[in-house]
Each structure stands twice: as structure tokens, then as C-alpha cells.
Amino acid sequence: MAAGRAGAAAVPRIAVVGANGHGRWHRRVIAPLHAAGRLRLVALVDVRPVEEDPAAPVPAGTVVGADHREALRAVRPDVVVICTPPHTHLPLALDALSYGADLLLEKPPVLSTAEHRELSAALADTGRVCQVGFQALGSAALAELTGAVTAGRLGTLTGISTVAAWQRSDGYYARAPWAGRRTLHGRPVLDGALANPLAHAVMQCLAVAEAAGGPVVPERVELERYRVRPIEVDDTAVLRVTPRSGPPIVAAVTLAGEEFVPGEVIVTGTAGRAVLEYSTDRLRLPGDDAPREVAGRRGLLENLLAHRADPRSVPLIAPLARTAPFTAVLEVVRAAPEPTLLGGDLVAAAGDGPDRVLTLTGVNEVLRRAAERRQLPSEFGVPWAGTPHRVLLAGQPAPQRSANDLTG
């Protein structure tokens, strides 16, 4: 059945592929909806035995197994939640579509513009829809910020940037064979800071830019990537995107931070400045004395179910088409030279065993300056900064939207 054809009386049947790890978060979202009769969890799939979770009990009759095709064939779900390593997303999504399901696909949805086009074509051919797991796009705080932008409260935007400083332990990079890898078995993985844990920071910036001038078409991408441990991807990076129209976007992020910065989106304009702490929904607009929490997030699964029931009135929050600029940027990251390895006195260690954390000395100040100035570290004299990777993307087509791709 195509989206919305099931009718209001039908209870959507949900399968989760990738039920362990972050998949347990999805199961906790599903559990109360299943208990309330708003959906029915019919299958859990994972290559490892499905872990128990008191907050997400497995309902009686749920198919549990390791073979996703076997499970999908058995239960014929209406929606498949895919929460697996990034390099598996496209084949799993295509399989789910072939069984007639709509998708909730974790971020990053795909790893290249070619994969993005292939999945877009499959959605068009099957009449299905795909929601991408950028859950921060459902934030009421983001909606208030973009509303202020479109209303002109900040004037003409001159820049959008984000800064985030997290920490990840040795155990984080031992969590799976694909962790910290650029490729695995000849397939791209790209488990770096920009592509995976801090992808939300980049996507929030793109959403603000979209509000200011419509779909973002990256024209120039500049990138510096660093690492403090022997991984294949970045744990520290500064990215600058110059769109075909609109203000420049800078993302300055690390997983080796000295002090925790949850993730700020800084929007500057000719009439003022706004700061959104996207992970906590704290927002400061021009005229505010201090940041304030803006309560309310629309859940991506609930939004997808509402869209299925009434696609004309309920747009998807994070349709695949909305993520096209993110994928274009990610493709540049994927093709960039390997990150510069930093060490010696620049790197400090704390903790033991899997809890050991490495921090990059002075990184918080560098990232803050990069975000505020919208510059790369090499442009303001950081001693350890390397040569930027620069790519021109002129001629890229503007993202196309269908009726199902409208955003809220």
C-alpha cells in the first residue's frame, strides 16, 4: 500500500532492522506506541542476538532473527526502521522498499550523491516515502529560529556556523568492526565526526540556510580533518560550505574536546545574532536576555505515521530530498585525503582501558574561533593546521522535491 492508503483504522506494522546499539533507542520510542495500540511491532532483526531492554520489551509474536529478507517476507511491514552501519543503508533500504514498506532510515542516509539518486528513484518507482533520522529537525526551537530568520528578525544572513566539542573513548572505537573506519570490505563507511555523531550539527545549519533561501546547493566545499588516534577518519574537523546563494556555513567539531560543548548553531545577520544549542533546545534570539529552553519535539516515527495517514496535510520532517545538500557535502568528505594525525604534546590522555579518552590541547578555542570567524584553522595561524582540501561543485542540480518531500 502506498503512503496514506491504509486508512485511519489500520494499525501500521513496524519492523526494526538493526535492533541493537542505537536501534535500542528506536525500540524505546516504539514501545509506548505499541502499548497504546498506535502501531504494532512485528519484527526485530540484527546480526547479533537481540539484546533485552526493560524499556523496550519484545511483544509476544514478534519475529526475531538475523536475516532481514526472511523477516520482511514473513511479516510484510508497513514501515521499516533501518538502524545499521552507514555502508549497509542503501541495500537494506532497497530491500525494504521491494517488500512495500516506507522507511525511517538512520543518518547518514547514504554516502554519495549516486546512492542518493538511486534511492530517490526507487522511492519514486515504488510510491513509498523515506524519513531520515535527523531527529533534531523536529525541534520546536529550530522551528522558532527558522521562523525568526524568514520573518527578517536577523536581517540579511551573513553567516551560519556550528561548534561542538564531545569526547569519545577507546571503547567507542572498539564498538564494532566498522567503527572509526573509512572503508570496510571495499565499501565506504566514513564513521567520522562530521558524518556520524556530529552530522546533526551540519544538518541543522543546512536547515537554517534552507529557511533563509530555499534548498541549499553547495558550490564550494573546503575541509580540514584531523585525528588524535590511529583511526581512518576524522575525530576533529572544520568544514566550510559556500552555497550557490546564501551565506557561508562553517562546522567546527571534535570528539577530542577539552570541555564539553553540546552543539551550538550560530546565526549572524545584519540585524542581529541567534544561537541555538540544538541538543538541548536552548535558543537565544535577538532581544533575549539569556538562552531559554523551547520545549517540544516532533518525533520522526510519529510524524511518518501521521504522514502515511494524511500525506496531503502532514509533511515529512526529514524527507530524503531535504538531505541532498548533506549528502553532497558528505561526498566531499568521503573523497578527501586521510585526516592529519596529531600527537606528541598536543594530545593528552585520561583514564584506562576502554574508558581512556584523548583530548587535543587547545581544540575548543580553535573551534570556537573557526565558528565565530567562519574560517579554517589554517587561515588564522593554528600551528598544527594542515592544507585544506577544496572542491568546487559548480553545476550541481538543485534538489528536487515531490509532494511527499515538503517539510514542516
Which amino acid is it at 179? A
In a domain, residue 308? The reply is no
In a domain, residue 384? The reply is yes
Compute the distance between CA of residue 145 and CA of residue 285 in angstroms, rounded to an integer. Answer: 7
Residues 270 and 349 in one domain: yes
The CB-side HSE value for 8 (13 A sphere, CA atoms) comes to 1
* pLDDT band for position 1 (cuts 50, 70, 90): very low
Compute the distance between CA of residue 244 and CA of residue 128 in angstroms, rounded to an integer. Answer: 30
Q: Is 121 helix (H, G, I), strand (E, B) or coil?
A: helix
In a domain, residue 110? The reply is yes
Give the residue from 57, 133, 150 showing the smallest Cα distance to 300.
133
Residues 202 and 78 in one domain: no
Q: List pLDDT tens digits, range 34-81.
A: 999 999 999 999 999 999 999 999 999 999 999 999 999 999 999 999
Is residue 406 over pLDDT 50?
Answer: no
Residues 363 and 258 in one domain: yes
Alpha helices by DSSP H, listed for 169-244, are 170-173, 199-213
In a domain, residue 405? The reply is no
Cβ 327 vs Cβ 386: under 8 Å: no
Is residue 407 over pLDDT 70?
Answer: no
* pLDDT band for position 403 (cuts 50, 70, 90): very low
Q: List pLDDT tens digits, range 179-228.
A: 888 877 777 778 889 998 999 999 999 999 999 998 899 999 999 999 99
Residues 17 and 87 in one domain: yes
Compute the distance between CA of residue 83 and CA of residue 20 in angstroms, rounded to an integer. Answer: 9
| Beta-sheet pairing, 340-341 with 292-293 | unpaired
In a domain, residue 83? The reply is yes
Alpha helices by DSSP H, listed for 133-175, are 140-150, 170-173
What pTM was computed for the model?
0.91
Q: List pLDDT tens digits, range 336-391.
A: 999 999 999 999 999 999 999 999 999 999 999 999 999 999 999 999 999 999 99
Name the residue range of residue 61's domain.
13-128
Residues 219 and 262 in one domain: yes
Residues 115 and 193 in one domain: no
- pLDDT value, residue 328: 95
Domain count, the chain: 2
Residues 195 and 119 in one domain: no
Q: List pLDDT tens digits, range 13-23.
A: 999 999 999 99
In a domain, residue 5? The reply is no
Residues 121 and 172 in one domain: no
Residues 74 and 199 in one domain: no
- Which of 64, 94, 128 delimits the end of a domain? 128
